[in-house]
Structure 1
Amino acid sequence: MRTKHMKCLAGVTAVTATVLGFSAGPTAASGHHEFVVRPGESIQEAVDAAHPGDTVVVLPGTYRESVLITTPGLTLRGTGERTVLAPQSAEATGTAEATGTAPAKSASGPAAAKGPRAANACAAGGNGICVVGTEANPVDGVRIRALTVSGFTRTGVWASWTDGLSVRRVTARDNGTWGIAQERSTRAELRHNTATGNGDAGVFVANSVSEEGGATDTDGTLVADNSVSGNRIGVTVRRVRNLRIDDNTVTGNCSGIFVVGDESKPAAGAMTISGNRVVKNNKLCAATPRLSAIQGSGIVLTGSESTVVRSNVIQDNVGTTDFSGGILLYKSFVGALNTDNTVQDNLVSGNSPADLANRDTSGTGNTFTGNTCATSEPAGMCAE
């Protein structure tokens, strides 16, 4: 009975694809289909026609649209750097003046459209690709592969209420706020991506961007093997717990890796930052309402607990701001202290004003052991 149902579904999918103008054919997985989108066709229409487990392949070209994904198990795959998503013109969207960072909360799918390029909620938020679920029904198992999102006023790839999202080999460049960002999401894999020239963080993981609250458990989100350069901050993790930031190359930002906590409970932390190469993050970025100027920051912990910073290479991060230095602990914007963090077995050299700095002297249980470095604040924290 189930086989008969899948055959019927496959027939409906193929007919729908033909009507919309793109092609769909069976994949290796029985009952799943692959939709092929060509230049001049709509990615969003293919996504809307797809079912859980289907794949949308986007051929080389520049596609001036934003894509909203609410279907679980969907794969959106480009062909590498030659597949580019870029913003529509203001005339085409009619909603480019929207000020929200995330898609409108009321949207559960694409807005009614006059044509294949009319704006959806993702475009209205100024984002390139959005994967959006709800608290009651998170979108699970979405995969985004091998494409470029560039020039959006807010975020290249945005995710909210997702589980098991996988973003690989995506280039997010020159977006107004974040390159690749998620909130309220669990078990994500953000891996082998390039994030460059974005207005705030190249990679951003948060509990929520629209409200205060204690740190949430990401259930093992992984940020790994990414190349992150030329942003305000390379990787920001804000008010979250239980994740790994491993083996990334972070260079040419104002700050490399920034862990943000506050007085809320649970506290941010319980994460591992290991094997990263954090070098020459020496851009100067002006102060914001919540953060003083930053320059020459390698790895910064503010208001974090039980975080392990281990086996990283942090070199030549030089500046004169409060956050300048190789690896440093600093009390948070609201005065929350760092507690029980471990900084161990890192190679830290050529950073100024210090390779290691504990500027949160009221914090308790923080340890610095086995680090190869030349200078520290206070003195004596480098291994002999």
Structure 2
Amino acid sequence: MPTPVHHTSHKVVVIGGGYAGTVAANRLRIRDDVDITLVNPRPTFVDRIRLHQFMAGTGEATVDYGTLLGEGIHLVVDSATCIDTAARTIRLASGRTLAYDYVVYAVGSTGEISSSVPGAAEFAVSIAELESAQRLRATLDDLRPDAPVTVVGAGLTGIETAAELAEQGRRVTLVCGGILAPSVSAPARRSVASWLSRHGVAVLEADVVTEVRPDAVVFADGSVRASALTIWAAGFGVPELASASRLRTDELGRLLTDETLTSVDDDRIVAAGDAAAPSGQPLRMSCQAAAPLGAQAADTVLSRIAGTEPAVINLAFVGSCISLGRRAGVRQFARKDDTSMNVYFGGRIGGAYKELTCKLGVLKIRREARKPGSLPWAKGGPRPEQPASGTPAVPPPAVGGPKTPVS
């Protein structure tokens, strides 16, 4: 009588159910001997690139995990508070602990309201998370249509937020603190500025907010501008789980990894998405980077289970998209190193392209659930000025570090 074969189950816990974490969890199903647990603080997936639509009441930004996750993935609605690398356990806010063989660290990013601006934390509201977007939506419902709204931060998120409200006839001021849309080319910037001007948005490029009041904002020159609602879109932070777990991070708190996305402190922890800092040189926080990094993180874990050498980052950007209300947008093309080219298209075609891009973000996750391994992440060549092997650049010796906003 043949001896039964017992397959060892490899326990992988994915912390974070955003674009990177859901792709990673689905992709890990390539092997049938991997026990996959996804830990996320919310019971539904947040389609963050649609939060400005949700805020304005022009769209929804949540998706049922039942439609996104492949069969066999265990969803735990909870928050991780500490990774105990010695015991290989994860402590959760509920008091529960999860054992692991490998961790995919995909905690994402959060809204970062500057603590150096008096009143900002108390009276401004971030647009970066579902709960704050819900608060904004409720506040807007109670505001008169002609009430002044201020958006602080003129990166892509700030522009999309201002445009969504302006298209509805809101009185919007967009405070840049520098130049409008600094990441796009001059021709694309002029296109964005033209749309905002036609829709009545007051764009203040050189002005800097130095105080936020319940009904106004104050600028560096002492001038005061009425603001019934102040929306903060001036930067992102990351959860402090890595530093709380005594894992080395960059200045913002992103987990330091090598070019295979493996933590420089523990080869059983692999990072993906906004909270990863490969060689101390993280990619731009974006949905565009998150999904491929989630796929690579899963592949790195699968390589370690198989005893093979994981591949290094081979990811190139292709540009960015900006929605301008529901009917227009800008598609900016970029070089592989994410620097913009003087090539873009806008108008209705740009808006349609942006909408297609948003839909693809969720469709790629669903496809990975149906067919693990379907999402490619290798594009172009090795990252410029990065190590060609899995050896990281020399990381700073300190654990954790002060948070600074990302422009």
Relative to the length of structure 2, the TM-score reads 0.20
Which structure is higher in helix share? 2
Relative to the length of structure 1, the TM-score reads 0.21
Which structure is higher in strand share? 1
